[in-house]
Amino acid sequence: MKKRRLFVFDMDGTLLPKTTACLELARATRTTDRLEALEAEFAAGRIDTKGFAAAISRLWGQIAPGVVREAFDASPKLRNIREVTRAVTEAGGRTCLISMSPDFFTEHFRDFGFDFVYSSRFPRDGRPLDPDGILVPEDKPRLVRDLCASESFALEETVAFGDSMSDYPLFRCLRFTVGVNPDVKLEKLALATYRGDDLQGAYSIIGRLLEAR
């Protein structure tokens, strides 16, 4: 894996196994029941991604930074995230996290060594949420292509890690993809699959495939 590559990671369900930023924030703010009702609306197709984001923005308003930090720290995470970002850097690569979840949560992953973090922008000054700042699954390949162009990475050498259908658009445009505890549909599309609680394990799997080329 000595070739300079971009490694892209999903957050909800991937780096955060069996949970999401929204669920952890709902637990911290004691709004789990209301979040579950919104998720049911989304699952039924009565609201879309941007409508869901607007609803949780109204639900939570301005969450105190300390509450967000506590929710982030308490959330379950894959083991060895920092070790993997360090290994990528030492090999000359860069790491990128892309999530549709609120930026005030995802930005804390910069402490784990990620070079780039892209997520949905939520207002922090009381203004209404701007729908244009909310990411959808189709934004993932767009952001990766733009990043590859600006940082001189080869798209065909980029590696992605994800778990669900929100990663499907990105996995479709990349060759090197790893399903991390993936759902059935994404597993069929992924080049490799990892099941477990250690990001180093997923990184090692794709490493062996790259070295075998």
Residues 100-142: tens digit of each pLDDT: 999 999 999 999 999 999 999 998 777 788 999 999 999 999 9
- Beta bridge partners, 6, equal 94
Decide which of 170 and 61 is more confident.
Answer: 170
CB-based burial, 182-199: b 16+ in 10 Å, e otherwise: beeebeeebbbbbeeeeb
Other CB atoms within 10 Å distance of the CB of residue 74: 10
Crossing angle of helices 65-74 and 21-29, rounded to 10°: 120
Residues 15-51: tens digit of each pLDDT: 999 999 999 999 999 999 999 999 999 989 999 999 9
70 pLDDT above the threshold of 70? yes
Q: What is the dihedral of CA 115, 118, 119, 123, to 10 degrees?
A: 90
What's the confidence (pLDDT) of residue 125? 72
Residues 162-190: tens digit of each pLDDT: 999 999 999 999 999 999 999 999 999 99
Residues 183-212: tens digit of each pLDDT: 999 999 999 999 999 999 999 999 898 887
Residues 154-163: tens digit of each pLDDT: 999 999 999 9
